[in-house]
Amino acid sequence: MTADPRESPHVRRLLGAYVLDALTVDETGTVTRHLRTCDACAADYVEIAQAASLLALLTEDDLPE
């Protein structure tokens, strides 16, 4: 993929991997810069980050039997 902003102005599809710290350094920088300037993606990021942190809190004890 390229970092051409004209090709992909929003970073929504990268946010999941961004939350999980699974992006390359370049991609992480792209997302970080974009979140500073885009309220829509920033709001999505907050939602995804919250969902990810909730999942991380789950333990085997929380799973239904």
Q: Which amino acid is at 28?
A: T
Asked if 31 interacts with Zn ion (CB under 5 A), we say no
Asked if 33 interacts with Zn ion (CB under 5 A), we say no
For residue 32 the two structure tokens come to 């970080």
Candidate segments 6-14, 15-23, 25-33, 49-57, binder of Zn ion by CB under 5 A: 6-14
Asked if 15 interacts with Zn ion (CB under 5 A), we say no
Q: Which of 1, 3, 10, 22 binds Zn ion (CB under 5 A)?
A: 10
The contact set with Zn ion (CB under 5 A) reads: 10, 38, 41
